[in-house]
Structure 1
């Protein structure tokens, strides 16, 4: 039976997939635009000056030739800059966009989720999600290996996450330089989303100057970089100014918090949030988001009862994984709501099979219920005796009672 493919549902996860190279190309375009405006602005001013001097008769032939040669030199220099920018950044980004759009276009030509073409596309998508997860959790070498082995380098954002990792490492080393450079490159976009990241970075650099007791440098830094934010951050600037009177070991609440080293971790979190927002990347790995959908359909209260946990249920899997930072599927399942079932499905604790009219539930005298198939198999192996795995109660199979589902 053919399963109709929900293209809109599939593409819900794919907005960041196309947005990241688009943002990269937009940066290339802005850089090109700045170069054009700067160089052609000078050429235009020179032309205006020459025309003005020619009108009043003060233009000399040698001066005109020299000015024209200078304009030609600027235009040739601009041409080289734009050509180099296109070859090093523009063309590779165009190729990435073309590959990704072609990958997305493939799904629109498919009509069934059961065919081999869709399976190949879904396998590639899973590989992309695995690379995304590796990049977000610091497993860069694994991410590169998967991307290379699967031939999907143009379909994953390794370069973006390498930049994120480089800047976050600098912040971990208590340096704001790299992050401030990134803020300057994305100043317009950060202003649109009303991000305060740049102010937070400037404030931290000011705090570090005071921590080092470089008072005069801190005052000069405040005048140069903090005062311009007074319309929106006046209260914070005033508190920061008063910090000059408090040493790093102060116990006064507001100023002790400013000296708190945990501010660097907050800066790393704020930076990553800003990067994700600009590139429309979700805060969590795409692999997790996809798993949430499945876990939400399976999660039941019995998954958190030790006596009813099923070894085959992903939600019941809450054991830590070696080398991982958290729990298994059960850890992810904690983030999703319980599943709503109009009709309950009863699963045998022993066999993991569904109990229904063909595999009726049977109850021990203690009240614990298991499937008929599992208990018959147990009785056949133990001379007609069955034992409840939860209570340890043993009895003859004939003492079990049928349970009717209503």
Structure 2
């Protein structure tokens, strides 16, 4: 029996988010803590310099010193608090970051120790990986309770991103309820990181709130809102701001297409998709479920030109399953086969010298074994499943593979 070797390089490409997601979250937490400490330190330096320059009474000087001592003690507490105590992964047992990171690194290192799939321990590791993928798929499809149940029952709560997806789902639910409040609060919390990505999400959210005020014909409130929030966007979004000002004069029933588009309710779903893309990018999450990425790899090796023209000869071909994996197969490229393999549509058997192909008078080809089995059930008669043509088995012609 051939031993199936483990392809570490290819497999680890799917495992990148396992380490990258917590690393990026940890790095952002560290940067935020660093800036908070620097801000307090600079304020302390400024206060100390002012105290040295200005002449004050003894009571004022003591009061100033007490304030500086309190600030120094607060700064000392922040500096002494290890960043590794930040809980960026919210699990049911509040697993600290170092334990969660260690578990993830151990999970990866265990995989690297395998050289073949036949080794003891590989099957349980692969089961854990599949459980992770199922949790990931469930979270992306709004099945949070299912995801939590799987994670808890399989003991992999610190190997999945339940907290990240929960925050994303909460904001998406608010957007689908036609509220931008949660999304704007999320943008405020991640303002620095979002600025680096140059996303227009916050402006789009502000624009949608303005549109809703115009939809309700709250003209004065819409004008006040535009003065408060659009001023900072005049340089970067001048065209959009100028355009949306026309909504003050045009209501939701306007026949003008350029303003009618702004009132279109489908903009809310567009906002949901935009937010999800930005959030996935910020959290370093793949845009596709990990389960789909793994399936894509397998489907790409099976997809042939015949799969796309509706004339697949293999009834068991997953890429031709219109209601199942065939939907995913639409997004993958064709497989490159140096040597073709002919598969019988009747039973999915490979046609070769031991099971040669036989052709109907109308040209359709099937395997000898499949046609013989059909003939034995129908008194020597065979019927082409694609054309419906029937004839005696003796009328079939043998086809030679070259």
Q: Judge conservation of contact 2:24–2:284 (CA < 8 Å) in 1.
A: no
Partners of 1:259 and 1:369 lie apart in 2 by 57
* 8 Å contact kept, 2:30–2:83: no
Match of 1:324 in 2: none
Quick one: distance in 1 between partners of 2:63 and 2:320?
81
TM-score relative to the length of structure 1: 0.88
Q: How many residues align?
A: 392
1:231 to 235, 241, 248: 235
Aligned residue for 1:228, secondary structure, equals helix
The yes-or-no answer on 1:387 pairing with 2:382 is yes
Trace 1:122-137 onto structure 2 (pairs within 5 A): 122-137=126-141
The aligned runs of 1:336-375 (5 Å cut-off) are: 336-375=332-371
- Give the Å deviation of 1:226: 0.8
Q: Alpha carbons of 1:73 and 1:346: their partners in 2 closer, same or farther (altered >3 Å)?
A: same
Deviation readout 1:164-190 (Å, 9 max, x if unpaired): 110011111111111111112222222
Name the stretch that deviates more: 345-354 or 79-88: 79-88
Question: In 2, Cα distance between the equivalents of 1:308 and 1:3?
Answer: 29
- 1:248-263 matched pairs, under 5 angstroms: 248-263=252-267
Aligned position for 1:329: 325
Match of residue 44 from structure 2 = 43
CA distance in 2, matches of 1:17, 1:242: 48
Query: Does the CA-based 8 Å contact 1:107-1:121 persist in structure 2?
Result: yes
Structure 2 counterpart SS, 1:362: strand
Structure 2 Cα separation of the partners of residues 35 and 347 of structure 1: 66
Residue 249 (structure 1) shift: 1.5
CA RMSD, 1 decimal: 2.4
CA contact (8 A) 1:35 1:78 kept: no
* Aligned residue in 1 for 2:92: none
Residue 295 of structure 2: aligned partner: 291
For the 8 Å contact 1:209–1:218, the answer to whether it is kept is yes
Cα distance in structure 2, aligned partners of 1:203 and 1:149: 44
| 1:12-61: CA deviation from partner (whole Å, max 9, x where unpaired) | 122222222123223322332343233333322222222224xxxx3444
**SS class of match (2:185):** helix
Give yes or no for contact 2:315–2:346 (8 Å, CA) kept in 1.
Answer: no
TM norm structure 2: 0.89
Query: Which residue in the other structure is 2:164 paired with?
Result: 160
Flag structure 2 segments of 5+ consecutive residues without an equivalent: 89-94
| Cα distance change on mapping 1:162 and 1:224 into 2, 3 Å | same
**Structure 1 residue aligned with 2:208, among 204, 226, 249?**
204
1:326-368 Cα distance to aligned partner (Å, 9 max, x none): xx11111111222232222111222211010111122334433
1:86 deviates by 6.5
Is the contact between residue 358 and residue 365 of structure 2 (CA under 8 Å) also seen in structure 1?
Answer: yes
Structure-1 residue corresponding to 2:91 = none
Q: 1:94 to 1:401 in 2, by over 3 A?
A: same
